[in-house]
Structure 1
């Protein structure tokens, strides 16, 4: 199999694994906010193939989720895509430029920070629309609920990405699936 076919196949497999993780590993945290480890898998795809792979996996998983199990419609799909891309694409872009342990750590930290900022802004703007909450109530939730949730989510995803990246890359290289 050529490398382009391998890349497309692995991106498809990572998309499927990320989607399954949403179904079987969704954990309610606070209010309407749930943690699932899909962003870890999306970030792994980006670390292996670059930030565009993270983008593709994010869109595929968010769209599939919207069409099957989500009750938040297109706004939920957009929010999921934004959150995943903010974490995974930023992390992968930094790691792509500096493929070292330091680059991985800086990339993951920047991904957490970007996701937190993006999700605070988008929750402020979109949660009143799709959840029907008054804007004032959403503002009251930003610091005590949405900020800590996104820090927790980003921290867990970064830790899992950090732990699983090297073993997964070694396994894929050993089988000749990536360079």
Structure 2
């Protein structure tokens, strides 16, 4: 099996695991905006991007969202918002990690940058999506921005980063060693 196919299979697996986590663990964290729910699946998406490259991270995001949508667990608006937030977080994070040689400092800088960029990008995205999904006027969305939407997106980025550092980075080292061995545990 060629390495591209192996990467795609692993990215699909990580996206599927992320879907299961999203399905099972979805926590409303902002009482005034119960539609904003945190799930810890983002660390698996970041793991996919960090281990396999940004394109595979995006593939994992797509798989997660696609499965969530086709099972009827989410609507197109929520799935699209989640997809955009995740890829805007993952791509710059992974690029900074790669540029910094995968060091802890580079990973921390990447996670910080990804969190800030995703938080800022979700301002216009929420203006559009909440209008289409909930019929909220832009002034109503803007009124929720500082007390709910911005803190939620910052919290999501920070929590996904912390979980990635605690669980994902050690796991990525193990997976990278496995890949370097050609995927053969008996070598």
Normalising by structure 2, report the TM-score.
0.87
**What is the CA-CA distance between 1:104 and the residue it aligns to?**
0.6
Contact kept in structure 2, 1:124 and 1:142, CA below 8 Å? no
Do the aligned partners of residues 178 and 127 (structure 1) sit closer, same or farther apart at CA in structure 2, a change above 3 Å counting? farther
Do the aligned partners of residues 178 and 46 (structure 1) sit closer, same or farther apart at CA in structure 2, a change above 3 Å counting? farther
The answer to whether 1:120 aligns with 2:128 is no
SS in structure 1 of the partner of residue 28 of structure 2: strand
**Residue number among 65, 77, 99 corresponding to 2:68 in the alignment:** 65
Which residue of the partner structure matches residue 9 of structure 1?
9
**What is the CA-CA distance between 1:8 and the residue it aligns to?**
2.2
The residue correspondences of 1:25-104 to structure 2 (distance < 5 A) are: 25-30=25-30, 31=33, 32-73=35-76, 75-99=77-101, 100-104=103-107
Gaps spanning 5+ residues in structure 2: where?
A: 182-187
Do the aligned partners of residues 130 and 178 (structure 1) sit closer, same or farther apart at CA in structure 2, a change above 3 Å counting? farther
**Residue number among 146, 150, 169 corresponding to 2:149 in the alignment:** 146
Which residue of the partner structure matches residue 184 of structure 2?
none
Gaps spanning 5+ residues in structure 1: where?
A: none
For the residues of structure 2 that align with 1:178 and 1:137, how far apart are their CA atoms? 52
For the residues of structure 2 that align with 1:49 and 1:157, how far apart are their CA atoms? 18
Q: Deviations along 1:67-94, whole A, 9 cap, x unmatched?
A: 1133422x22321110010111111111
**What is the CA-CA distance between 1:49 and the residue it aligns to?**
1.1
Q: Deviations along 1:79-119, whole A, 9 cap, x unmatched?
A: 11100101111111111111211111110000100110011
Which residue of the partner structure matches residue 137 of structure 1?
140
**What is the CA-CA distance between 1:171 and the residue it aligns to?**
2.4
Q: C-alpha root-mean-square deviation of aligned residues, in Å?
A: 1.6
For the residues of structure 2 that align with 1:147 and 1:12, how far apart are their CA atoms? 30
**What is the CA-CA distance between 1:137 and the residue it aligns to?**
1.1
Which residue of the partner structure matches residue 167 of structure 2?
164
Query: When the two structures are aligned, how many residues end up with a matched partner?
Result: 177
